[in-house]
Amino acid sequence: MTPEPAREKEQSFKVIGKRLARVDAKERVTGEACYPADLSLPGMAHAKILRSPLAHARIRRIDTTRAEALRGVLACVTAADFPAVPLGSTIPMGEVGYDMWMVAAINMARDKVYWVGQPVAAVAAVDQHTAAAALALIEVDYEPLEPVLGILAAMAPEAPVLHEHVFTKGVEPRPKTPSNVCSRVLIARGASAPALAEAAASARLRVEVDTAHQGYLEPQVALAQVDANGFATVWASTQGQFTAELMIARMLALPASKLKIVPLEIGGGFGGKIAIHGEAVAVRLAQKCRRPIKLVLTREEVLQGGSGPAAGAVIDVAVAAERDGRLLAIEGTYRMDAGGLPGLSPSLLMQASAALYQCPNLHLEGFDVVTNKPRTEAYRGPGGIQAAFAVEQAMDMLCQELGLDPLDFRKRNAAVTGSTMPIGTPFPAIGLTTILDAVGRHPSWLDPIGTGAYPRGRGLALGYWRGTSMTSAAHITIAGDGRPMVTMGAVDLSGTRSTMAQVVAEEFGLSIEDVHVETGDSKSVGYSDGAAGSRVARTMTAALVEASADALGQLRSRAAEKLQCAPHLLRYAAGVFRAPPPGSAAISLAELMQATLTDGAVVGRGVSSKLPLGVEIGAHVCDVEVDTDTGLVTVLRYTAFQDVGLALNPTAVEGQIEGSVVQGLGWALLEGFDYAADGRLRNASLLDYRMPTALDVPRIESVIIETPVPNVPYGVRGVGEVPIVPPAAAVANAIARAVGVRVRRMPMTPERVLAAIRAARAQPH
Amino acid sequence: MKLLLSSIINGAEHSVLVDPRDTLLELLRDRIGLTGTKEGCGNGNCGTCTVLMDGAPVNACLVLALEVAGREVETIEGLATAGELHPIQSALVELGGTQCGFCTPGIVLSAKALLDANPTPGEAEIRQAIAGNLCRCTGYGKIVEAIATAARRLKA
């Protein structure tokens, strides 16, 4: 079992750090939790989306006449029903904003389609059967264009160009011809080429990573209603109600005051529900037919171009070291497959792959490349697992070359607080050395691996993820019985209501049962960025510490008046204000609120907008057995070591780590999109796109380490993203130790493992 | 055309008009309003719509509504009695076996079918019993632990 984290042994906190059940767990196990698909409205109609059957084509004409004539059809929409969003238009999000031209194209193609499954029209009808029948009656005249599917093919100079307006960013001078390479990023220091040429040992590797999907079990869904005054409400499954509002408003040219997004329970997001996928279409249909509209994507739609999966990649790395293991150089070329529209900058994943090593010479070059496949989106530490699959394997090859223990090698080169990050700035407080020491002492590293029917191996890999902070806002209203009622601007992806109830209970000196937490809609709480980048627990904690202080300050003033005492002389503990002796008069929050109910609301406000980063670091140890007859890899044991700063709730932290690791194992061994030459996805079902079942993975063990982040309330770090970063590399390194081969393509399916084993056997020694 | 169908759902008789194309899942969610049963894929691959039909777990999306005429169906709404959670439910709550919650109703019913048939399952049997239920959040460990805990409590 997992060792108890240090924090639980301390008595300094009463609620924080405890293994408390989620405050919303009962409604989940009883089926009462309400997801948007569960909601119906009187007079509600149903929408369906017509999707492109072609991967690359110009749209000459769309005719909806026959569909509109079908009995039961209420409205049809195409791009002509939406104002054109200009190129370069963005909405606020983080440091760079979010490209709205791209969001518009994801939701409704205009003039051109870039992937199979891109929406080209939508229908509202009295029921789903009629809506589906109507789709078949919409006529779309396409001019087919040559699709380009592979990353390397798309980068070739003779490749068909997807976007005439895309000229590679990050290249000087500005290119004169458009390109499928949307951006190029270079991170360099020192001179890596001579270091590689002259080093005692070096390792080189090219890996390929197939596109994978976040695999949230709840498909995208929206319920939209527009009232007689034109005010629109959308009940949504979204990672951010404010981001969704900005996107929908921009797509429809609606003023913000005419739109409200109500986030209901979300059945998993993992990055895939940051952007909207149909919500604005539902609102437009509701406006047109004057009835509430429900849009629920099918699983096939989700997989076949109706949502954004995660980027595939082709990555080359080369690393070099002295004979004693001192790392000299890391070179990497990271080609990321954005799908049909420009994607995320590869900068973060490039930095992440090299961040945990002190290395004098770096040359990391990244490319964001478009292909005729669904536009990819974020997936838990976006790009981290792909880059680690390359770099952490190369490091392992270097260890094998030098005959060094992979853990000693990491200790020898480990980044420490203050050492230089890839971007040239010093590392904030990190506990990598502590993690590596913990690995070295742990049974998962020390126990003999044992023997089985087939060869076994143990792999080690590190992971880093920067995460982000951005903005979180919340307010606390004090109920008539003195209890804090929290409204936060973040949706609850991963137990946020529970951990935030713990924070507020701690701040008020109350128990968790005394605190009520809910997610506000986009009109009832202050602007907050979406739940992404491992930011919510940290930044919402900071916002709620501030909001608690604000509310308690207001309560103190009221108590001072009631107790006839100067406010600063009052002592507050466990829900009671107490005047100093000799009187020692006291008033509880409940009595205080009852006595001052008519004095107006007590509302404490808090916002966090520039919290220091809480970078995430993990080290994973994995034991596998490789069936050399079939290529099947069985994960026997898996242990994840992670510095979480402070575990607000160790059970929740373990839940994040275990789930994240299993997603990583799924991509490592099972999950990959299989595209036909024409751009159709051949495995667009959860039978053929195989996510791990309970039989595919062992019990994941989490070892929680706590190195608090300075200047952050409670020292909390991000948790949820980094555990998906090392698994593929850890498995690959274990396979290499078991059977002596490198499987260079992910997922490492039995077929690919077997091919690698056979190729190695066929090679003359 | 609609047809009249009668079946016992969570112990109560329901007579409902259904479209012959309706699945059991649509009957439960859209006609009777039992939305605790979720739809994750609509073709029997994810297990989120698992309910018990005459005590055996089925994917409600693969059963036609008309097939349940005269039969007993148990859904997640039927499990807690008089506000008391079933031991499987309370163990999931205590041990962190539910995260986003979308797979949870199906997992609870697969686990109930297991424990009804086998009160002392080993870990391998528990994993086998929920192998048809995908979960993307938990990594399964805490779910397996909760089902084992519930089995012990039910036996005691």
- On whether both A477 and A553 belong to a single domain, the answer is yes
**Domain range for A642:** 383-467+613-762
ω into A747 cis (within 30 of 0): yes
Q: Which residues of B touch A719 (CB under 8 A)?
A: none
> Quick one: pLDDT band at residue A517, thresholds 50, 70, 90?
very high
User: What is the spatial distance between Cα A492 and Cα B111, in angstroms, rounded to a whole number?
Assistant: 26
User: What is the spatial distance between Cα B92 and Cα B110, in angstroms, rounded to a whole number?
Assistant: 13
Is residue A358, in this structure, part of any structural domain at all?
A: no
- On whether both A409 and A437 belong to a single domain, the answer is yes
A289-304 pLDDT per residue, tens: 999 999 999 999 999 9
Residue A721 among the catalytic residues:
yes
The domain boundary residue, chosen from A608, A628, A660: A608
Q: Judge whether residue A480 has pLDDT over 70.
A: yes
Higher pLDDT, A582 or B129: B129
**Domain range for B33:** 3-78
Is residue A225, in this structure, part of any structural domain at all?
A: no
- On whether both B13 and B67 belong to a single domain, the answer is yes
- On whether both B96 and B140 belong to a single domain, the answer is yes
The domain boundary residue, chosen from B78, B108, B143: B78
- On whether both A395 and A429 belong to a single domain, the answer is yes
For chain B, positions 44-73, list CB contacts with chain A under 8 A: 45-46, 48
A685 min Cα distance to partner chain B (Å): 8
Is residue A414, in this structure, part of any structural domain at all?
A: yes
For chain A, positions 242-271, list CB contacts with chain B under 8 A: 265-268, 270
- On whether both B92 and B115 belong to a single domain, the answer is yes
- On whether both A680 and A596 belong to a single domain, the answer is no
ω into A582 cis (within 30 of 0): yes
A180-198 pLDDT per residue, tens: 999 999 999 999 999 999 9
Residue B90 corresponds to which tokens in the numbers above?
Answer: 């309370």
Q: What is the pLDDT of residue A1?
A: 37
> Quick one: pLDDT band at residue B81, thresholds 50, 70, 90?
confident
B69 min Cα distance to partner chain A (Å): 23
Residue A237 backbone class (left: φ over 0; alpha: ψ -120 to 50; beta: rest): beta
User: What is the spatial distance between Cα A267 and Cα A218, in angstroms, rounded to a whole number?
Assistant: 5
Is residue A3, in this structure, part of any structural domain at all?
A: no
Q: What is the pLDDT of residue A765?
A: 60
The domain boundary residue, chosen from A608, A633, A658: A608
Q: Judge whether residue A11 has pLDDT over 80.
A: no
Q: Judge whether residue A264 has pLDDT over 70.
A: yes
B136 min Cα distance to partner chain A (Å): 6
A427-450 pLDDT per residue, tens: 988 889 999 999 999 999 999 999
Q: Which residues of A touch B99 (CB under 8 A)?
A: 494-495, 655, 659
Residue A272's φ and ψ, nearest 5 degrees, are -80, -10
- On whether both A622 and A580 belong to a single domain, the answer is no
A519-556 pLDDT per residue, tens: 999 999 999 999 999 999 999 999 999 999 999 999 99
Indicate yes or no: pTM above 0.95. yes
Q: Is B38 on the interface with A (CB under 8 A)?
A: yes
What total of structural domains would you count in chain A? 2
Q: Is A42 on the interface with B (CB under 8 A)?
A: no
Q: What is the pLDDT of residue B80?
A: 86
- On whether both A617 and A731 belong to a single domain, the answer is yes
The position carrying tokens 């498909």 is A219
The domain boundary residue, chosen from A608, A628, A650: A608
What total of structural domains would you count in chain B? 2
Q: Is B103 on the interface with A (CB under 8 A)?
A: yes
Q: Which residues of A touch B140 (CB under 8 A)?
A: 662, 693-694, 697
Distance of CA A138 to the CA centre of its chain: 36
Q: What is the pLDDT of residue A8?
A: 41
- On whether both B53 and B19 belong to a single domain, the answer is yes
CATH number of the domain within which B42 lies: 3.10.20.30
CATH number of the domain within which B109 lies: 1.10.150.120
A597-611 pLDDT per residue, tens: 999 999 999 999 999
Residue A687 corresponds to which tokens in the numbers above?
Answer: 């039978």
- On whether both A621 and A749 belong to a single domain, the answer is yes
A298-334 pLDDT per residue, tens: 999 999 999 999 999 999 999 999 999 999 999 999 9
A688 min Cα distance to partner chain B (Å): 9
Please name the residues in contact with A220: beta carbons below 8 A apart, sequence gap of 6 or more: A237, A273, A277, A278, A296, A297, A302, A306, A307
- On whether both A698 and A738 belong to a single domain, the answer is yes
Is residue A427, in this structure, part of any structural domain at all?
A: yes
User: What is the spatial distance between Cα A446 and Cα A458, in angstroms, rounded to a whole number?
Assistant: 11
User: What is the spatial distance between Cα A51 and Cα A73, in angstroms, rounded to a whole number?
Assistant: 18
What is the pLDDT averaged over residues A354-373? 97
Of all residues in chain A, the percent with pLDDT exceeding 70 is 98
C-alpha atoms less than 13 angstroms from C-alpha of A84 in its C-beta half-sphere? 6
User: What is the spatial distance between Cα A670 and Cα A589, in angstroms, rounded to a whole number?
Assistant: 55
The answer to whether B136 contacts A217, with C-beta atoms less than 8 Å apart, is: yes
CATH number of the domain within which A581 lies: 3.30.365.10
Q: What is the pLDDT of residue A3?
A: 42
- On whether both A502 and A588 belong to a single domain, the answer is yes
